[in-house]
Every structure is written in C-alpha cells, then in structure tokens.
A and B are shown apart, each in its own frame.
Chain A
Amino acid sequence: MTEQRPTRPPERSLKLLHGGKAVEDARRMAELAVTCCDTECRQAASMAAWELAENLLKYGASDPTKSAGTIAISVDKNLVRVRTTNTVHSPNDARRVQETVSKISSSPSARDLYRERLLELFGDPAQHRAQLGLLRIAFEGSFKLSCSFEPPLLEIVAERSCAGQ
C-alpha cells in the first residue's frame, strides 16, 4: 500500500531579490492568486503579502546577490495562506520572530496589541522602527499567524478564511 502524504494546495511563489520592485511583485502575485475571493479578502492578502515581503527584505539575508527569501500564496477550500521562508543565521533573530508571532497569535485581541504599539509610537516619536507589520496582518487582515524554525530555515505562515470564493 502506498503511503498517502498530506498534500499542500498549489502555491504561487516568488523568490525575493534585493532591489527592484520585489515587494510590488509579491503584492501583484498575491492579487492574482486571490482574484476569486471577496474584496475584503483581496485587500487582506495584498496587504499581508506586502508586509511579509518587506520583512523578508528588511530582516532576511542581506547579500544582494542572493534571494532574501521566498514568499508563497495559496487559496484552497476557503483558506488563504501566505507563507514566507528565509534563511536565518542567528538563532536569536529566529527566536525574536517566534516570540512576536506567539504573542500575537495567543492574544485574544489583535486590535489591543496594535493599539498598544501605536500608543508606544505616539508617546515616543523617536522610535526608529514602526514594527507594525505582523500586528497589522493579524488585526487588519484577520490572519492567524504561526511560525516555525528548523535551522537555518524560518517559516512564517499567515492564514485566513475567505467566505467569498
């Protein structure tokens, strides 16, 4: 008897290179993948692809000759999934991302976390980075986030249901 492996729905994927219009390309790929979804879901997928792609370019491999990571999107049975993978050289960096994702995914209210972060920025305009991307994906996009690290690969998955297919 042949063992049945769980299959992933077909994905569109893109390797992100530094420079050029990599983030815009990721967003366009997401928009093409979700043309059959409702407006809210299309806006959410587009925003999530943009934010995740930007994070890859900000925090992924900085060698301009190599890809910063890969972004993929799939739509299957009313579930939209945006997934990024990238090589992480410092386990501490991976741990920080895992902690952030864990904090967001275990919170009963993404809105409260988002507001908390905006309040921090409001009270301290000197803070260099907004660090709102993942929060926005969870709050505005209603995505559920998860994260895994199998050295050296870090994977972030954002999933949301879509009623409009």
Chain B
Amino acid sequence: MDLQVARPISVESLRLRLTSAAELELAGSLATPTAQRELSEILTALHTRIVEQRIPLFTVDVRSLNFVNSSAIRVFVDWIARAESSAYKLTFITERGITWHRLSFSVLRSLAPSTVEVIEKNSAGVGGQAS
C-alpha cells in the first residue's frame, strides 16, 4: 500500500494520512497483527522515501491514535532505530489526555534523545510542551 500526500488510507481501524512530504497523521487504533504488519511495511517504505529525499525532520501526529497494543509500541521502536541510524529526526505530536501517549512516548524519546522530540498538546486547552 503506497502512501501519497493528502490521500488517506485505512488499515482496519487505523487511519493514515500524509499531510505533506514531512508529516504523517495516525488515527484510530492499532492492535491487530494484520494492521501492525501493514503499518510496518508502510513505514519501511516511508523511511526509504525520507532518506532518499533527505528530509531532515519528519513529524508524526498521533493525537488521534487512541489505542495501541503492546506489540504496536514495537513499530515505533523500530522506526526510531532506523531514524537514528539514518540521521533524521522524528517529532511526535501527542495528546496529553491519553495516558499511553504521555507515558510511553517519554520512554521512547529516552531511547534516542537526539533523534526524537515529543510535543505534547492538550486538546482541552491551548498550547503544547516540547521535550
């Protein structure tokens, strides 16, 4: 499945939308082996494109990604490892009101602090906090 700018695609209850060459929105939920496998393949292709186009910073907006299972966390770990070895940065935009965002992304960032930035936003309020 090829991801094109402004052409959203769905994998089961997961929705993906490339809003620009350097920003991806993930929404819905990611909890089945099929969705994980497909997302992994999409992200592998996306990673190749980021490297080929020499995009220095890629943003992933997960604010509407409400639910993932533990195996799906692995997808983010693998992407961060690839980004670090290819020397581009990943910025995750997270939602403060979602517990797994608040807790897991801070740990994910700690795996590669020079590669990962997390911007926490609060949909109930204004502004955000970067770490």
Contacts and interface: CB of A to CB of B under 8 A. Distances in A.
Interface residues of B, number: 22
B34 interface: no
A17 B15 CA distance: 28
Contacts, number: 62
Interface in B79-120: 80-81, 97-100, 103-104, 107-108, 110-112
Nearest to A24: B31
B58 interface: no
A111 interface: yes
Contacts of A136: 70, 73, 100, 104
A46 to B, nearest CB: 7
A50 B100 CA distance: 14
Interface residues of A, number: 26
A39 interface: yes
A46 B73 CA distance: 16
Interface of B: 31, 67, 69-71, 73-74, 77-78, 80-81, 97-100, 103-104, 107-108, 110-112
Interface of A: 23, 39-40, 43-44, 46-47, 50-51, 54, 111, 114-115, 118-119, 121-122, 125, 130, 132-133, 135-136, 139-141
